[in-house]
Structure 1
Amino acid sequence: MPNPQAPSSERPTVWKTLKNDFRTTEFKKSLAYDFNEAKEYYLDKEQLARLERMGAFKRWIYSTTWLLKALFLKLTSARRILLLVSMLLIITDNDQSAKSLLGGLLLLFILLLELKDKLLARHELFEGHLVQEALMPERTPALPGWEAWLFTRSANEVGGDLVDFIELENNRYGLVLGDVVGKGLRAALFMARLQAIVRAMLPDFESLGDLGTKLNRIFYRDVRGNFATLIYLEINPDSRRIRFLNAGHLPPVIFNSVEAREAPKGGPALGLIPDAGYEEQSIELREEESLLIYSDGLTETRNERGTFLGEERVLKFLPRVAADSAAAIGERLVAEVIRFMGMAKAHDDLSLIVLKPKQGAAGSRQ
């Protein structure tokens, strides 16, 4: 699970670094994680499917061969030549001469260049991560009459999920959760574009259906060939009624300590159909009920065996935490996701919004 960190100002020593490496108890798990991640990156779906049908020894031979081939082909032409020369020097050194040493130094030089490229790319992505963090609202925004908890975690250094909180005129508050197709930097750029469009248009639309129609036309025009799902909630502190627009997103989940149920589905995703129509929907929360909005990164979380967390597990989990505060519900749900994943890699961005009427607020007495 990537977690970008700012560069440390302390310069580590080789001895201290190695000592910490040997002390770690996660070496075997970390190595297995890195190997599985390398397979997922370098091998295509057909190769991965073939590996699943092989025995352990044959699978190791084929995966190693395919990984080495992919590594060789993905190097630049100059580095491929250096790698070939270094291997020839090492293989043909029958008299223990300096050829093996030279070959080893060439391998280290190639590693140095590849690591440099990786660190430069990581630094750029870290800067992008900081920008996304700056655009992210507070995790528990001030929402009169309501408890609100917002969360997003990208599968990579930057992600394509949108979570936003917007104060509007006339005592109205807006919450947005969107999911742009894809992952990584490309999805992050589209997400920033979508956030800007939504924020610019919200003050001009009273009808959420009209808002969805206009958003779709702009997204289809400006981001041709891509699409995004989006759910926009509008809340009034004096009422438990939530107006919302659902453009192809997973339905909100209403839950209490007894059951969890989904709201009706909405319209198509943004950017798919140029003239798509949308309708405003609404939810009236009853006593002790809460609302969950989530991205598909929740239900599509996979563990080390490739099993999905799934909608059924989520719906069974929510009643167990329904009595908690909105923040506690969200944090316990994220903890359950982490527990289920184990050492598996996060394959998709995860975003959540939990809403709960405050006890004693004006809206809760209706």
Structure 2
Amino acid sequence: MADNKPPGFWATLKKDWQSTPIRASLRRNFQELKAFYLTREQQDRLENMNWLKRWLFTGTWLLKILFFKLSPFRRLLLVASLYMLLAQNGNGGRDLTIFGAITILLLLLLELKDKLLAHSELADGRKVQLALAPEANPRVPGWEIWLFTRSANDVGGDLVDILQLTDKCHGLALGDVAGKGLKAALFMAKLQATLRALASDFDDLGLFAKKVNRIFNRDGLPNSFASLIYLCVESNSPSVRLVNAGHMPPLLLHNGTVRELDKGGRALGLVADSDYREERLSLEPGATLFLYSDGLTEAQNEEGAFFGDERMIALLKRCGELSPSETGRQFINAVDGFVGEARPADDLSLIILRRNA
């Protein structure tokens, strides 16, 4: 019978010590603290300070933010714990120090409880997103297709979907809702539901995008928007119909050359009466259509450099003879290697189609 007993305290501590790059983790977490809590103006001011002044200002700002972000009761706990920890020894001072440490632990437990509750809800949301996600290699005769999406956080705001509209016609969608996290995920679910409800009602993709835009504009929050590429392919046919609403233009790879398709209309949700135009293509055997979200080109490494368009196009040219799934894995490995230990800045999504000979 398998032993399901959790590891002990010392065994866990030893494993953490052996597996954690301490210096890199400290640096990464400290940078994340500054990026999350400090304003752009504060970060710019720090750049012009010497190291001692920078540390003093950073510590002061973070402590101030911590104080005001806590609930009233927890603010009182923080002040009480700091007083007891900083109290002079003697006349019971040591006992105050112990109580201060216990109060800090209580405060950490309360904050951890809130985090675990929020994480549990986000994990449930992630399960729903995964349940709604299509398979990675959908079967469409005459085509090889690979779909991929990976969120930067527990839930993502990118949309990757495939719809079977008729026996021969399939719709593919790649969308990117502005922002990240739960807000973007909720709008993504709304966009996906709208696409699935309306896709079979329109023969003209321009009119389809116009209708989706009106709904997204009507139901969205102020300044909320999404980019979208929606395309239709038919079984054993070279024709592709697509509409682009504010997304990066797809790339067409054939015979070692990469061509960027035309730019599309406005992003969904910005203007209620935006017009969109359907574009038609005929792909030669072996040609590949490459759709991507900005999480690819805007992936950043620890030095703040971007993966960029040039690196993307150069890699795509080297993938001319590969299948869509092989091409996709090349890109995922390249991005992961480039980013290194840096935290993902945005969701990453790809749709890759290859016309069979």
Same fold per superposition (TM over 0.5) = yes
Compute the displacement of 1:257 (Å): 5.5
Which residue of the partner structure matches residue 78 of structure 1? 73
1 CA distance for matches of 2:57 and 2:46? Answer: 8
Match of 1:140 among 137, 140, 155: 137
Match of 2:270 among 266, 269, 272: 272
Whether 1:211 and 2:208 are equivalent positions in the alignment is yes
Aligned-pair identity in percent equals 48
Whether 1:297 and 2:295 are equivalent positions in the alignment is yes
Whether 1:167 and 2:164 are equivalent positions in the alignment is yes
The 1:234/1:53 distance shift into structure 2, 3 A limit, reads same
Unaligned runs of 5+ in 2: none
Match of 1:55 among 50, 53, 60: 50
Whether 1:107 and 2:107 are equivalent positions in the alignment is no
Query: Bigger CA drift: 179-188 or 233-242?
Result: 233-242
Whether 1:230 and 2:228 are equivalent positions in the alignment is yes
- Whether the aligned pair in 1 keeps the contact of 2:286 and 2:356 (CA below 8 Å) is no
1 CA distance for matches of 2:225 and 2:5? Answer: 44
The 1:52/1:144 distance shift into structure 2, 3 A limit, reads farther
Q: Deviations over 1:86-117 (max 9, x none)?
A: 11112113225311101100000001101111
Match of 1:18 among 13, 26, 39: 13
Q: Deviations over 1:10-65 (max 9, x none)?
A: 63421221011111252221222211111111111111122233333332332222
Query: Bigger CA drift: 131-140 or 26-35?
Result: 26-35
Query: Bigger CA drift: 348-357 or 254-263?
Result: 254-263
Give TM-score scaled by structure 1 length.
Answer: 0.92
The amino acid that maps onto 2:73 is A
Compute the displacement of 1:229 (Å): 0.8
2 CA distance for matches of 1:303 and 1:172? Answer: 40
Which residue of the partner structure matches residue 46 of structure 1? 41
Which residue of the partner structure matches residue 3 of structure 1? none
1 CA distance for matches of 2:199 and 2:28? Answer: 44
Query: Bigger CA drift: 130-139 or 301-310?
Result: 301-310
Which residue of the partner structure matches residue 282 of structure 1? 280
Which residue of the partner structure matches residue 320 of structure 1? 318
SS at match of 1:254: strand
Which residue of the partner structure matches residue 128 of structure 2? 131
Which residue of the partner structure matches residue 338 of structure 2? 340
Compute the displacement of 1:224 (Å): 4.1
The amino acid that maps onto 2:349 is S
The amino acid that maps onto 2:209 is G
Query: Bigger CA drift: 331-340 or 17-26?
Result: 17-26
Compute the displacement of 1:284 (Å): 2.1
2 CA distance for matches of 1:215 and 1:261? Answer: 28
Compute the displacement of 1:289 (Å): 2.0
1 CA distance for matches of 2:116 and 2:319? Answer: 41
Q: Deviations over 1:200-259 (max 9, x none)?
A: 001111111110111111111111422111110100122222100111111001114622
1:172-187 matches, cutoff 5 A: 172-187=169-184
- Whether the aligned pair in 2 keeps the contact of 1:256 and 1:323 (CA below 8 Å) is no
2 CA distance for matches of 1:338 and 1:322? Answer: 21
The 1:147/1:56 distance shift into structure 2, 3 A limit, reads farther
Q: Deviations over 1:61-84 (max 9, x none)?
A: 322222222112211111111111
Match of 1:154 among 151, 155, 177: 151
- Whether the aligned pair in 2 keeps the contact of 1:257 and 1:321 (CA below 8 Å) is no
Compute the displacement of 1:268 (Å): 0.8
Give TM-score scaled by structure 2 length.
Answer: 0.95
- Whether the aligned pair in 2 keeps the contact of 1:257 and 1:323 (CA below 8 Å) is no
Q: Deviations over 1:277-301 (max 9, x none)?
A: 1110022223432111011111111
The amino acid that maps onto 1:223 is G
Unaligned runs of 5+ in 1: 1-8, 360-366
Moved over 4 A (4+): none
Query: Bigger CA drift: 119-128 or 284-293?
Result: 284-293
Match of 1:247 among 231, 245, 254: 245
The 1:230/1:142 distance shift into structure 2, 3 A limit, reads same
The amino acid that maps onto 1:37 is E
Which residue of the partner structure matches residue 87 of structure 2? 92
1 CA distance for matches of 2:5 and 2:298? Answer: 39
2 CA distance for matches of 1:257 and 1:33? Answer: 42
Equivalent residues, number: 351
Q: Deviations over 1:123-156 (max 9, x none)?
A: 1100001111111101111121111111111111
2 CA distance for matches of 1:105 and 1:224? Answer: 44
Match of 1:307 among 305, 308, 313: 305
SS at match of 2:179: coil
